[in-house]
Structure 1
């Protein structure tokens, strides 16, 4: 059985400054923490299995119908529920991309086609992606894309993505798009496919509270889809009471934190440019990440050396299509980013003296 490795493993590396998990650099909004803490007085009760209050608030925020929403114990649960509901015979995914897509598809006995993003093209998806979907159209049941992609942070051109959505609708292929990091890109409304939902019942959008509100430990993800039959089949594959009371209350509180998210977005834009410039001065190649993390090529030994300095970055060598020397780092506060840069300079200098 394959072993899937992720960032954020602070349990095996206590005391580290964690750049391996891409969450809000300002942390969890205080109002979210209060809401989760206050809800503990009600944990003797079962959670609302229909998530009515959260559903109502989120639908209002997104300006979508309440019955278009489905909630999960993190976005990962919904990835598995989607694969189990569709039971695709064949599916196409990016490579490199988030491991859970392939893990869920393998669990559903699905044959996986990888569309390899090329280093020489900056890992940017081009028209060849649509051509590959067209080529495989007679056999594909599902296309699972990530926008912006993880670990590269690269966005798919909005025009291309819409052409893919239209073609998949005509060909009877379900298109699932993971938009979990979209809150941290510039002009997210330009890149989301949410406006296509009324006319594209074949479209499923995946999102989460995890990254935007730094709620990874509470597990709260959601999907948006206008196909009631698909959502029903997914619901049948979810555990009852899968979203806890603290998670639901934290989610409701998070939707009131627009100003907090705006501050985090401004910080990410500023610090991303700073980190990119400083790493390029050190000779690293930084790819065109437009999310709250940077993806770059460096020395194979960099991660282990930084761990000795109590800093953890994401080794991307286990992603299909990548080899050793590819790294992903979260964009954090200026002080934390400065500490990372100082540590990188220190370990490079020590290595050169060997």
Structure 2
């Protein structure tokens, strides 16, 4: 049987608990899908009899305007995961370097393509921060490096200064840098971390973005990548279905990029609730690391926290299946204040009666 490795699997839980679940395991915008996007989805249903635009022309133009980049730099896909697989099958690397811990999909895609995967271990005594030590692991036989900024599950960002050093080193050694920026917009100052301004000067730089987290569109499946290497994007296009992005997802993406007030509210909510959760977890005796995005990475105050919360109808992400971590570490999404209070109250009960 297939082993599921990601958060957000509410369906397995609901099979045995029909009364519902409070899901902190998936890092989704607590505001939910914007109302304007809902209306765009309903309108797009009228076009369901037609095949979707295989080139995503209207959506690509909207992304290009939003990113201030040429449309030729953009390829849309059926979520970020789809683009990770397309990238790996287009490049066919022999050896890759990924950090540990990191988003599991990088290694799954690489392994599926027959690539050897090396791990760069992030150290707890360094707060799981990426350092210049990674350059030592970028040996001449490495073809591709996957990084996530901020990292998932730690929420630790990588400074632009270090990323520039890594990018330049990768170019000198003919290594493709695949940089996942899906959580970058949740940082307090995303412009200080994104590497989009370097795309035109580095054809070995590949950026990954998604609508999933910021716009609460996980079920619609929509992501895009940015790269100035046109030959690579052409290969990636041929490594997937030409109709991988539905009419509904394309219409939702176009409207989502217009939702400026929604983004402003989101940043305020995330900043306030992230601070609340960090403070409350520390008060309970948890050790919090990083956590600069829309999720909190921590070592709990009691053992078996995820199992105990699940019994109360609350799902969190046990990080035991991340390489480089054990089940002692957990990750929770930053949700609405009422939901966050429910989580903290449940954890407080366990502290009183472990």
- TM-score, normalised to structure 1, is 0.96
**Structure 1 stretch displaced more, 313-322 or 122-131:** 122-131
Residues 33-87 of structure 1, C-alpha deviation per residue, up to 9 Å, x if partnerless? 1111211111000001110110111101100000110011000000000000110
Return the alpha-carbon distance in structure 2 between the equivalents of residues 41 and 13 of structure 1: 34
Aligned to 1:19: 24
Q: Given that residues 4 and 99 in structure 1 are in contact (C-alpha distance below 8 angstroms), is that contact kept between their aligned partners in structure 2? A: no
Aligned to 1:285: 287
Return the alpha-carbon distance in structure 2 between the equivalents of residues 310 and 82 of structure 1: 38
- TM-score, normalised to structure 2, is 0.96
Aligned to 2:174: 172
Residue from 40, 47, 60 that aligns with 1:42: 47
Shift of 1:349: 2.1
**Secondary structure in 2 matching 1:286:** strand
Residue from 141, 151, 154 that aligns with 2:153: 151
Matches within 5 A, 1:205-224: 205-224=207-226
Aligned to 1:334: 337
Equivalent residue pairs, number:
348
Aligned to 1:118: 123
Q: CA RMSD for the aligned pairs? A: 1.1
Return the alpha-carbon distance in structure 2 between the equivalents of residues 20 and 3 of structure 1: 16
Return the alpha-carbon distance in structure 2 between the equivalents of residues 327 and 258 of structure 1: 32
Aligned to 2:6: 6
Q: Given that residues 306 and 347 in structure 1 are in contact (C-alpha distance below 8 angstroms), is that contact kept between their aligned partners in structure 2? A: no
Return the alpha-carbon distance in structure 2 between the equivalents of residues 166 and 19 of structure 1: 38
Residues 278-305 of structure 1, C-alpha deviation per residue, up to 9 Å, x if partnerless? 1101110000211000000023310111
Runs of 4 or more, structure 1, over 6 Å off, are none
Unaligned runs of 5+ in 2: 15-19
Note if 1:128 corresponds to 2:133. Answer: yes
Shift of 1:235: 0.6
Q: Given that residues 148 and 290 in structure 1 are in contact (C-alpha distance below 8 angstroms), is that contact kept between their aligned partners in structure 2? A: yes
Unaligned runs of 5+ in 1: none
Return the alpha-carbon distance in structure 1 between the equivalents of residues 63 and 248 of structure 2: 16
**Secondary structure in 2 matching 1:54:** helix
**Secondary structure in 2 matching 1:11:** helix
Q: Given that residues 284 and 351 in structure 2 are in contact (C-alpha distance below 8 angstroms), is that contact kept between their aligned partners in structure 1? A: no
Return the alpha-carbon distance in structure 2 between the equivalents of residues 60 and 2 of structure 1: 40
